[in-house]
Structures are given as structure tokens and as C-alpha cells.
Amino acid sequence: MSTNAPRGPAPRTAAVINPRAANGRAAAHWPRIVEQIGLVEALFTQHPHHAAELATQLLDEGFERILAVGGDGTISETMNGFFRDGRPINPEAEFGILPMGTGGDFQRSLAIPSIEAAVGVILSGKSRTIDAAHITYEAHTGGQTSRYFLNLTSFGMGGEVATRAKNSLSAYSGKLAFMYATVEVFFRYHAKTVELSLDGGAPTTHKILNIAIGNGRYHGGGMHVCPKALLDDGTLEVTIIEDLGMFTLAKDLPVLYSENIYKHPRVHHHRAAHVRATSREKVSIEVDGEAVGTLPIEVRLLPHAIKILTP
């Protein structure tokens, strides 16, 4: 949808800040950012999922613009606080990002190359309405749970890398954790057999390396896994990477990370607004880079669900 300049007085603005993002740089740089964008009420996260709680609290208090300061995880959690019972708390509220993490996948989809550019986006005050998605999945702790995402979810090797980085490599952080996790998973990963249903169609069976369901285009620190995805086109991009041998995977990794991924003979893509995936095996999933659970999953698109500040 087209961008529109805001009308009337400046919206009441608050920021949700992850003080641990970028090894503490988010908290350290915040005073300088405030000087550039003006007086903004700030709340700092204290534990996992706190960003969503704070965003909901701020919206209930009448704030009209919420900024997420941190990495992809903070951005995703803050956005989750915009919804209650499947609906936006305030459909007119605006969401903005000040990316200060290590992955930067959602900012790539928004074409915001740097924190300086993000400050410029905030100052311009232009927004557009984009789609979101709702995902239901099996939690690691057991039982079904759900959340929202703006960027991307994947399962298979991507889910195992995220799980490994979270659970077994806590001594490392950011890209280093994912580098170690990717290497470890690469040498032990076995293809998973999953059943996939798109828009209520009959399930199809796939032996996969990975499947990505994207509203945005990137995951894994820059892998261009859904290069045709658009944030506001009312559909999700579904990229299926079939089983690849270790040699083929290593040889073709540059193609699999590029916008030419769909040219690979073992990659297929579809579009759908409703996706179901099941498996008899344990298949790990990640949502916006966070290891959250396993199959089965159900993903539903929420068209034109949230206003976001964009270039």
C-alpha cells in the first residue's frame, strides 16, 4: 500500500528497548538516538516476552506509536504486543523499528540499511499498512500455543539451527552462536518427511532440508529464502528446499543464500494465505529467528494488519 504522511499533532510515542541487544549497544546508544528523534518515553525489557507485554501496556495507555529497539527477536516480540484475541488493539497505532541486533533480517525486507536510516524513517513519519501472520504450533514445553510474525517462519534445518543456538550455545551470542550451530547441525542433519497443505488443499508429502513461509524475504542473517515475498500483497511465499546431500548443500550454498534460490532444481515455491504442516517426526521450527517449538503448525495470513513506519 502507498505511504502516507501523518496528519495532525505528533503521535504519542514510546520505545521498547532490549538493553542486551547488540551486546548492550542498544541501551548505550539510546540517549544519542533520543537527541535525534526527540523526547520519547522508554521502557526496557527485563525478561523473555517482556517486549510484548510492554507494547500492550503502552497501547492500552493510549500511546499511538511504538518503537522497537533491538534485534529481530525484540522487533518480533514487540509487534506481538499490538494484537489481542486475534485483532489489533488499536488499528491506527504505528509500529517503528530501530534495528540494533545482529541478524537484521526484517530490516532488510523493509529496505532499512542502518540505524541512521531507521532514525530518518522515524523522523519522516511516513507509514504504510502491511500484512502479518498468525502461527499455531507445538511449544517446546508441551501443548499448543500461538504468536504473530511479520517476517518469516521456517522448519527443518532452520528450526534446528535456531534451537541449537538457543539451547546449547548459550555461552555465545548473536551471529557467533548461529555460526557454531549451523556447522554442528550441517554435519548431523537428516532430512525430515513432512505433509504440507496450502489453502485447504490436499496434503502433499515432501522430504525436506527446510521449508520457509515468508511475509518478508530473509532469514538466517541474510539468506534470501523468499525473494518474491511482499509485505503487503495479501499472501505468503512458501519456499520448499528438498533434501540435498551434504556435498550438494555445501557446493550450492551461495545459490541457496541468494535471490536466485528459485533457480535451484531442488527448490520449489508456492503462494498461500493458509498453510498447515505436520510430520510423524520431530521437526523444529523457528519464528523470526527464535526457536519456539515443533510441528504441527498452522499459519494464517492477516491482511493489512499493522501500520509500520517505512522509508
Mean pLDDT over 233-256 rounds to: 91
* Cα 87 → chain centroid: 19
Residue 6 belongs to a domain = no
Of the listed ranges 143-147, 150-154, 164-168, 189-193, the least confidently predicted one is 164-168
Question: How many domains does the chain contain in total?
Answer: 2
How many other β-carbons are positioned within 10 Å of the β-carbon of residue 300? 17
Residue 4 belongs to a domain = no
Residue whose C-alpha is closest to residue 296's, from 114, 117, 153: 153
The pLDDT score that the predictor gives to residue 167 is 58
The answer to whether 58 and 14 are in contact (CB under 8 A) is yes
Q: Which of 130, 163, 192 is the last residue of a domain?
A: 130
62/142 same-domain check? no
Q: Which residues contact 252 (CB under 8 A, 6 or more apart)?
A: 244, 264
pTM, 2 dp: 0.92
| Strand runs labelled E in 243-283 | 267-272, 274-278
70/96 same-domain check? yes
CA diameter of the chain:
59
Residue 311 belongs to a domain = no
The rounded distance, in Å, linking the Cα atoms of 243 and 311 is 38
Give pLDDT tens digits for 211-230.
999 999 998 878 899 999 99
Write out the residue range of the structural domain in which residue 115 sits.
Answer: 13-130
146/270 same-domain check? yes
Residue 309 belongs to a domain = no
The rounded distance, in Å, linking the Cα atoms of 101 and 177 is 13
295/163 same-domain check? yes
Q: Which of the four pLDDT bands, split at 50, 70 and 90, describes residue 2? A: very low
Residue 205 has pLDDT above 50, yes or no: yes
Residue whose C-alpha is closest to residue 223's, from 253, 194, 195: 253
3-state class (DSSP) for residue 168: coil
167/200 same-domain check? yes
The answer to whether 236 and 222 are in contact (CB under 8 A) is no
161/26 same-domain check? no
289/164 same-domain check? yes
Give pLDDT tens digits for 73-130.
999 999 999 999 999 999 999 999 999 877 789 999 999 999 999 999 999 999 999 9
The pLDDT score that the predictor gives to residue 189 is 87
Q: Which residues contact 23 (CB under 8 A, 6 or more apart)?
A: 173, 174
The rounded distance, in Å, linking the Cα atoms of 198 and 273 is 8
152/272 same-domain check? yes
The pLDDT score that the predictor gives to residue 161 is 84
Residue 146 has pLDDT above 90, yes or no: yes
121/231 same-domain check? no
Report the percentage of the chain scoring pLDDT > 70.
93
Q: Which of the four pLDDT bands, split at 50, 70 and 90, describes residue 246? A: confident
76/49 same-domain check? yes
- CATH code for the domain of 37: 3.40.50.10330
18/118 same-domain check? yes
Q: Which of the four pLDDT bands, split at 50, 70 and 90, describes residue 170? A: very low
**How is residue 201 annotated by DSSP?**
P
Q: Which of 68, 103, 130 is the last residue of a domain?
A: 130
Q: Which residues are 127's β-sheet partners?
A: 4, 309
Residue whose C-alpha is closest to residue 103's, from 178, 153, 30: 178
Give pLDDT tens digits for 7-60.
567 899 999 999 988 778 788 889 899 899 987 899 999 998 999 999 999 999
The answer to whether 279 and 196 are in contact (CB under 8 A) is no
171/144 same-domain check? yes
Q: What is the dihedral of CA 149, 151, 157, 159, to 10 degrees?
A: -30
- CATH code for the domain of 155: 2.60.200.40
The pLDDT score that the predictor gives to residue 5 is 46
Grid coordinates of 45: 525489557
Q: Which of 115, 130, 145 is the last residue of a domain?
A: 130
What's the whole-number average pLDDT of the chain? Answer: 90
Residue 2 belongs to a domain = no
Grid coordinates of 38: 526527540
